[in-house]
Amino acid sequence: MIDPGELDEQVLILGIKQEGTAYSWENVSTVWAKAEPQTGKNLFSAVGIGTKSVKFTIWKQDLTLHNAFRWRGKHCFLTDITEVDCLFYEVTAALIEPKSCTVKRIPQQEKDELKRPKKSEPQVIMAFPGCLTEKYMGFSKLNPQAQTDAQYVLVTPKEIGLKIADLVTVGDTTYNVQIAHELDEFKNEYEIAVNKEA
Rounded CA gap, 137 and 47, in Å? Answer: 14
Same domain, yes or no, for 87 and 120? no
pLDDT score of 4: 84
pLDDT score of 143: 55
For 140, 190, 196, the CA distances from 145, given in Å and listed in that order, are: 9, 29, 11
- Among the candidates 69, 95, 121, a domain finishes at 95
Same domain, yes or no, for 173 and 113? yes
- What residues have CB less than 8 Å from 118, skipping those under 6 apart? 109, 110, 111, 112
State pLDDT tens for residues 109-149.
677 777 777 777 777 789 999 999 987 444 545 555 555 56
Same domain, yes or no, for 132 and 188? yes
- Among the candidates 48, 72, 95, a domain finishes at 95
Domain span at residue 11?
4-95
State pLDDT tens for residues 69-79.
999 999 999 99
CATH number reported for the structural domain that contains residue 106 in this entry: 2.40.10.370
Q: Find the range with the poorest average confidence among 36-40, 41-45, 135-139, 176-180.
A: 135-139
Mean pLDDT of 59-72: 96
Same domain, yes or no, for 90 and 112? no
Same domain, yes or no, for 18 and 86? yes
In terms of Cα–Cα distance, which of 153, 197, 192 is closest to 176? Answer: 192
pLDDT score of 171: 87
Same domain, yes or no, for 55 and 137? no
In terms of Cα–Cα distance, which of 188, 194, 160 is closest to 45? Answer: 188
State pLDDT tens for residues 154-166.
999 999 999 998 9
Same domain, yes or no, for 103 and 164? yes
Q: Find the range with the poorest average confidence among 23-27, 40-44, 146-150.
A: 146-150
Same domain, yes or no, for 103 and 191? yes
- Domain count for the chain, please give it: 2
Same domain, yes or no, for 71 and 122? no
Mean pLDDT computed over every residue of the chain:
88
Rounded CA gap, 182 and 146, in Å? Answer: 34
CATH number reported for the structural domain that contains residue 49 in this entry: 2.40.10.270
Same domain, yes or no, for 38 and 111? no
Same domain, yes or no, for 83 and 167? no
Same domain, yes or no, for 82 and 117? no
- Among the candidates 95, 124, 148, a domain finishes at 95
Contact 24, 17 (CB under 8 A): yes
pLDDT at residue 81 above 90?
yes
Q: Give 106's pLDDT tier (boundaries 50, 70, 90).
A: confident
pLDDT score of 136: 47
